[in-house]
Amino acid sequence: MNKAELVEKLSAKTGLSARDARVCVDALFDPDPAVGLIVAEMVAGGKVAISGFGTFEARSRKARSGRNPHTGQTLDLPATRAPAFKAGKPLKESLRK
């Protein structure tokens, strides 16, 4: 399911107009921290825990060495932060059925 399909299904399920459903989806998932609530919280160092679904957070990765697969050259990769999602128990159980 892509974003347009999510908006369409949200609109059908809730009775919201397609425009209002798109605004809701954007407010949650937009990658711009000024718009998307989940990204804004992760950028600020927080977590977004949705009971029964899971937790979105930014995790720190240590600096490490890597290798360019084309040239074989060793590279020093800096420490960084990456988005992470941990599924909640009810979500995991739903997928196991």
**Residue 71 falls within a domain, yes or no?**
yes
Q: Look at residue 62 in the predicted model and tell me its pLDDT.
A: 97
Domain that holds residue 53: 47-97
Residue 92, in any domain of the structure: yes
Number of domains composing the chain = 1
Instruction: Check residue 97 and give its pLDDT.
Output: 86
Per the domain annotation, does 31 fall within a domain?
A: no
pLDDT along the chain (97 residues), means of 10: 96 96 95 93 95 96 96 96 96 94
Q: What is the pTM of this model?
A: 0.80
Does residue 78 lie in a domain region? yes
* Residue 14 included in any domain: no
Q: Which CATH number do you get for residue 60?
A: 4.10.520.10
Q: Is residue 53 in a domain?
A: yes
Q: Does residue 5 sit within a domain?
A: no
Residues 49-79: b if buried by 16+ CB within 10 A, e if exposed: eeeeebebbbeeeeeeeeeeeeeeeeeeeee
Rounded Cα–Cα distance for residues 55 and 42 (Å): 11
Report pLDDT for 56.
97
